[in-house]
Amino acid sequence: MFGVVQNIVLYWGIGRWWRPRKRSPLEKLIDESRSPVERLIRSVLRAIGASYLVAVVLFVINTPLLVASGNLASPIALLIGPLLVLLTSVALVCGFLLMLVAGVPVLADVFGALTRWSLAAAEWCVHAADQLPLGSAYLPSLPGWWLVGFYGLVGVVVLWGWRRAKWFVLAVPAWVLVAALLPGPSKPADELRATFLSVGHGGCVVMETPDGRCLIYDCGTTSGPDAVRRVIALYLWSRGIRRVDELFVSHADADHFNGIGELVRRFPVGRVTFTPSFVDKPAADVAEVVAILKRADVPIRTVSAGERFEAGDVTFEVLHPPAVGPPGVENERSLVLVVRHAGHTILLTGDLEKAGSDIVLSLPTTPCDVLMAPHHGSQGAFPSALRTWASPKCLLVSRGNLYSNFVTERHTGVPTWDTFTHGALTVRSHPTGLVVEGHKSGLKEVVRSK
């Protein structure tokens, strides 16, 4: 698709717009009066200017397709594009010559070195440019009707000619402004939405509070950080979310936090909240994510049992872990978060199990409407005592398969839904009641009504 669009614009547009103009006798005389060096310098400058004009046109033409297919825009391409064309052209020519002179060792070494150096220089330019502010930006996907309108305007300008289609040329930036002003979906001012995304074996719960904030509980999966691009970012953009106000990380296991780096690349993040033992885990991926947050200047805080905070009329209470301990693996120190809104309660448990479960079960009972099944719904992490202690009206499971050792409604005695079967599960808390919806299966169950 990119190649087709580029070829049309290059052949029918740029090829005609910048066709060399026939010079007048006076212009020829003036040019002949210049020294050879001056003529050479002016020719080089004209070539550079033309290459950058072509880069600008191709950037405008290609960016909507890049945003639509990969949610990526690269303004820095305007600066390094012509340089990359030069370097890759040198590599292409030298590589071809290398094949021709392969039997001559001296020449083969020379052309081989030039090919390697050109490609290495191109790679260095790309990596260096990507580190610059605004070198690249991740944007929401563009609707199909907007793309049709944009390339319709481009087609008119290219085929008709920009001199005869001046009004259409002016309409292109106006149409781009329309994309920037597209509103997100309307959001009820008195509703809390908590969506358990289907990221496979991992976890990500996106909470949209009535006052417009976005808070996320966990951001990771065993399939790796790419889940942020494939699932999390797309969902946030579809909901009109442009900023994550706070990210809660349940514990220091990679399938619960390895998407943080990609999330920070795509969205401003107001703060990341860890458990007391998170940064102390001697693991390279933990050190890496802490370094990423520091480089991005994202504040980090630590919470422990007993702390409470609010987001408008939504309240959060930390039940676990305590400031120190318990001993054992990170699962046992998972962040257990109670979310309350409009008389409804959602209990988020991460991978809570063993000694961690014992500590939580020793606390006063916390009846809830929605319980996140601990440890992705493992039967071993859901003892009957937990069901009695929490008295959930329904159980939501974030998992990537249907192995037999996972809990089902037969084991729990309450409605149990999982993201593998139903896709993303959205809990909608409203003063009139609480509803669970499955995005893939079409599930819609009233859990509690008033």
Q: pLDDT tens for residues 198-246?
A: 999 899 999 999 999 999 999 999 888 888 888 999 899 989 898 999 9
Listed residue (261, 239, 265, 236) closest to 249, CA to CA: 261
Average pLDDT over residues 355-375: 95
Please tell me the least confidently modeled range out of 208-217, 302-311, 351-360, 405-414: 405-414
Is 190 in a helix, a strand, or coil?
A: coil
Average pLDDT over residues 239-261: 95
Helices 105-130 and 77-100: crossing angle, nearest 10°? 160
Please tell me whether the peptide bond between 392 and the residue prior to it is cis, using omega within 30 degrees of 0: no
Confidence bin at 138 (pLDDT 50/70/90) = confident
Average pLDDT over residues 89-99: 91
b/e map of 20-58 (b: 16 or more CB within 10 Å)? eeeeeeeeeeeeeeeeeeeeeeeeeeeeeeeeeebbebb
The whole model's pTM is what? Answer: 0.81
Q: In the predicted model, is pLDDT for residue 24 greater than 60? A: yes
Residue with tokens 């090919």: 115
Q: Where are the beta strands (DSSP E) in 197-299?
A: 202-208, 214-221, 246-248, 272-274
**pLDDT > 90 in the chain, percent:** 52
328 in Cβ contact with 352 (< 8 Å):
no
- pLDDT value of position 36: 82
Confidence bin at 426 (pLDDT 50/70/90) = very high
Residue 207 vs residue 406, higher pLDDT? 207
Tally of CB atoms within 10 A around 10: 15
Q: In the predicted model, is pLDDT for residue 450 greater than 90? A: no
Average pLDDT over residues 46-75: 82
Please tell me the least confidently modeled range out of 28-32, 271-275, 339-343: 28-32
Confidence bin at 404 (pLDDT 50/70/90) = low
- pLDDT value of position 70: 78
Average pLDDT over residues 110-125: 92
- pLDDT value of position 146: 87
Is 123 in a helix, a strand, or coil?
A: helix
Average pLDDT over residues 51-77: 82
Confidence bin at 4 (pLDDT 50/70/90) = low
Query: What distance separates the 2 farthest-apart alpha carbons in the chain?
Result: 97
Please tell me whether the peptide bond between 321 and the residue prior to it is cis, using omega within 30 degrees of 0: yes
Q: In the predicted model, is pLDDT for residue 150 greater than 80? A: yes
Q: In the predicted model, is pLDDT for residue 402 greater than 70? A: no
Tokens found for residue 73: 């825009």
Confidence bin at 9 (pLDDT 50/70/90) = low
229 in Cβ contact with 237 (< 8 Å):
no
Listed residue (39, 41, 47) closest to 20, CA to CA: 47
Please, what is the end-to-end C-alpha distance for the chain in angstroms? 53
